[in-house]
């Protein structure tokens, strides 16, 4: 059996630049060589990792991609974890997925090694591996499981979404075809690499195509502007919050700087928004400022990208467009009827080769999430003049903030550990910058008090920054229905 197609294609672009930073250039050949060396080190005495789970805690860039390919080439399942997560969040992901090896770079090794010791996980510091490959890498079937991504949902703890190499390949091929990726493309990468937006839509599509990626440790408008005005990019992908921040930064720039930056943006062949709803007003503001019509698309960790505005043709503000190549989409009404016409809302259900296998070790949740072979997204949409428009989510317990999907239940469970909190309800309130702002409504224990800064300080060691409530309301009691259950629509009305 030949190499995995994603790896095999790199030989076609061996001399092209895969990663570029201000000070370094790495070719596809270097990516092949480095991933073979790391893969060989991972294998040690073994011939094949046989789907062992290998966590990845490495800064975005060439070494991240090499480590990711190393895991795949050695036969492991990659579990990328959030660089800025807290120790309890790391511990949950590592234990839930049964990780046996963790690949880390020198920058993170001090932070994670006590946890690895505690859990008996083998730590591989990639910066200490400088040798050439010493082993033959195994042949890997595309039907093998490749990746686990943790995603929040309507349970208090995140679930691991398992995809095979074939799933990942289908997700990549659909986007490469629809958005006409080519080896001439150059794209910045400032999104986190533990979610599909960064991993699939940016890094994997670029590497599949022989394009060049410019990685950044985090999003920073000034850094991006400097490169945009130098015409560094042909393609740009971001979440709506980033477009809001770019608009604010452009408006604050001097007229001369703004004109130079806008010229850079206007020359790009494609600018995409996704991971959360792009308000039509932001879409229109961006066009007014740069002349670019953002292409909005819709996707999800479990399915990859499903619906997209067209590359050629009308990109309609407020709508997500049509099903992508190789993806089947249907709407199902609350009464269980498949909607064939327009203007009638229903749940988006998706089928196709990109759709995930199952949640890791959760057979019941996996079975429940499929309806006769179609994945139930939990998102509502309607077809209008041929295009899908997302209307919202079925569950009030799912919040999207800054493009991150958060579980209100997970945050509530953590807040209940606070010594002063007796009861709480977490909701997402509309927010111009973040899409939704995590908001906690709490009932305190007798004779105690709580301020937002104190809660945020307490939350820092327990929750990733984007999960910590941005707003706090202390109430005497939570609104409940006749059955005594907290009703979130009534909680919302408190604001």
Site residues (CB under 6 A) for ligand MLC?
191-192, 195-198, 218-219, 239, 241-242, 274-275, 299-301, 401-405, 434, 437, 465-466, 470
Q: Who's near 434: CB < 8 A, 6+ residues apart? A: 241, 401, 402, 470
* Smallest separation, CB 419 to ligand MLC (Å): 23
Q: Which stretch binds ligand AMP (CB under 6 A): 37-45, 116-124, 268-276, 476-484?
A: 268-276
Residue 124 contacts residue 41 (beta carbons within 8 Å) = yes
CA distance 181 to 311: 11
Could you say which of 276, 306, 319, 329 contacts ligand AMP (CB under 6 A)?
Answer: 276
Choose among 127, 138, 126, 29: nearest CA to 74: 138
Residue of the chain from 105, 214, 347, 379 that contacts ligand AMP (CB under 6 A): 379
Rounded to the nearest whole angstrom, what is the least distance from the CB of residue 338 to ligand AMP in the complex?
A: 20
Least distance (Å) between residue 117 CB and ligand MLC: 28
Identify each DSSP E strand in 257-308 by its residue range: 270-273, 295-300, 304-308
Range 383-412, binding ligand AMP (CB under 6 A): 390, 393, 400, 405
Query: Alpha-carbon distance 219 to 318, whole Å?
Result: 25
Binding part of the chain for ligand AMP, among 51-59, 133-141, 275-283, 358-366 by CB under 6 A, reads: 275-283
Which range of residues in 126-134, 291-299, 309-317, 454-462 is near ligand AMP by CB under 6 A?
291-299
Q: Is 135 helix (H, G, I), strand (E, B) or coil?
A: coil
If one asks whether residue 179 binds ligand AMP (CB under 6 A), the answer comes out as: no
Tell me: does residue 377 bind ligand AMP (CB under 6 A).
yes
Identify the residue among 40, 174, 275, 369 touching ligand AMP (CB under 6 A).
Answer: 275
Q: Which of 189, 167, 433, 186 is nearest to 305 (CA)?
A: 167
Q: What's the closest the beta carbon of residue 378 comes to ligand AMP, in angstroms?
A: 6
Give the number of residues in contact with ligand AMP, rule: CB under 6 A.
Answer: 17
Which position among 298, 360, 374, 375 is part of the footprint of ligand AMP (CB under 6 A)?
Answer: 298
For 77-234, where are the E strands, in sequence order?
77-80, 99-104, 122-125, 145-151, 159-164, 186-189, 212-215
Residue 245 is a binding residue for ligand AMP (CB under 6 A): no
DSSP letter assigned to residue 231: T
Smallest distance, ligand AMP to C-beta of residue 160, A: 12
- Residue 296 binds which one of ligand AMP, ligand MLC, none, with CB within 5 to 8 A depending on kind? ligand AMP
CA 83 from chain centre, in angstroms, equals 13
Q: Which residues contact 301 (CB under 8 A, 6 or more apart)?
A: 149, 151, 161, 195, 196, 356, 405
Using CA atoms, how far residue 180 sits from 11, 174, 184, in Å, is 21, 10, 11
- Residue 205, contacted partner among ligand MLC, ligand AMP, none, CB below 5-8 A by kind: none
**Least CB distance to ligand AMP at residue 324 (A):** 12
List, in sequence order, every beta strand (DSSP E) within 63-169. Answer: 77-80, 99-104, 122-125, 145-151, 159-164
What does 43 bind: ligand AMP, ligand MLC, none (CB cut-off 5 to 8 Å by kind)? none
Q: What is the DSSP letter of 202?
A: I
* DSSP class of 144: S
Nearer to ligand AMP, 143 or 432 (CB): 432
Q: Contact residues for ligand AMP (CB under 6 A)?
A: 151, 274-277, 296, 298-301, 320, 377, 379, 390, 393, 400, 405
């Amino acid at each position: 059996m030949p190499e995995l197609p994603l790896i095999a294609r790199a030989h076609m672009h061996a001399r092209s630049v895969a990663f570029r930073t201000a000070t370094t250039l790495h070719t596809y050949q270097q990516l092949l060589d480095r991933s073979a060396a790391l893969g060989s080190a991972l294998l040690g005495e073994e011939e094949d990792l046989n789907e062992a789970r290998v966590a990845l805690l490495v800064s975005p860039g060439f070494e991240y991609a090499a480590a990711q390919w190393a895991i795949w080439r050695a036969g492991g399942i990659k579990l990328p974890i959030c660089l800025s997560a807290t120790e309890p969040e790391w511990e949950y992901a590592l234990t839930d997925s049964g990780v046996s090896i963790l690949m880390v770079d020198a920058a993170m090794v001090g932070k994670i090694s006590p946890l690895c010791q505690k859990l008996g996980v083998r730590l591989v510091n990639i910066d200490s591996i400088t040798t050439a490959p010493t082993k033959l890498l195994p042949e890997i079937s595309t039907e093998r499981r490749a990746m686990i991504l943790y995603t929040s949902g309507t349970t208090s703890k995140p679930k691991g979404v398992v995809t095979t190499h074939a799933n990942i390949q289908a997700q990549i091929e659909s986007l490469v075809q629809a958005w006409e990726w080519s080896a001439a493309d150059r794209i910045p990468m400032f999104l986190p690499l533990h979610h599909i937006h960064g991993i699939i839509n940016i890094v994997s599509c670029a590497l599949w195509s022989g394009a060049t990626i410019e990685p950044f440790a985090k999003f920073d408008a000034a850094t991006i502007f400097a490169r945009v005005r130098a015409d560094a990019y042909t393609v740009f992908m971001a979440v709506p919050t980033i477009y809001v921040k770019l608009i604010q930064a452009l408006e604050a720039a001097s007229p001369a700087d703004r004109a130079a930056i806008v010229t850079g943006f206007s020359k790009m062949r494609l600018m995409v928004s996704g991971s959360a709803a792009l308000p039509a007003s932001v879409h229109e503001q961006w066009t007014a400022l740069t002349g670019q019509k953002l292409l909005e698309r819709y996707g999800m960790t479990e399915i990859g990208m499903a619906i997209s505005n067209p590359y050629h043709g009308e990109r309609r503000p407020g709508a997500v467009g049509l099903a992508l190549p190789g993806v089947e989409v249907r709407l199902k009404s609350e009464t269980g009827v498949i909607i064939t016409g327009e203007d009638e809302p229903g749940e988006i259900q998706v089928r196709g080769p990109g759709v995930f296998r199952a949640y890791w070790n959760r057979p019941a949740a996996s079975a429940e999430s499929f309806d006769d072979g179609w994945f139930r997204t939990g998102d509502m949409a309607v077809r209008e003049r041929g295009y899908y428009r997302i209307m919202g989510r079925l569950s009030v317990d799912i919040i999207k903030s800054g493009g991150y999907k958060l579980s209100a239940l997970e945050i509530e469970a953590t807040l209940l550990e606070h010594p002063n909190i007796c009861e709480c309800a977490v909701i997402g309130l509309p927010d111009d910058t973040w899409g939704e702002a995590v908001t906690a409504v709490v009932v305190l224990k007798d004779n105690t008090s709580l301020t937002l800064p104190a809660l945020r300080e307490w939350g820092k060691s327990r929750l990733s920054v984007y999960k910590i409530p941005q707003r706090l309301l202390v109430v005497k009691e939570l609104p409940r229905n006749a059955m005594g259950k907290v009703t979130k629509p009534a909680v919302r009305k408190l604001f």
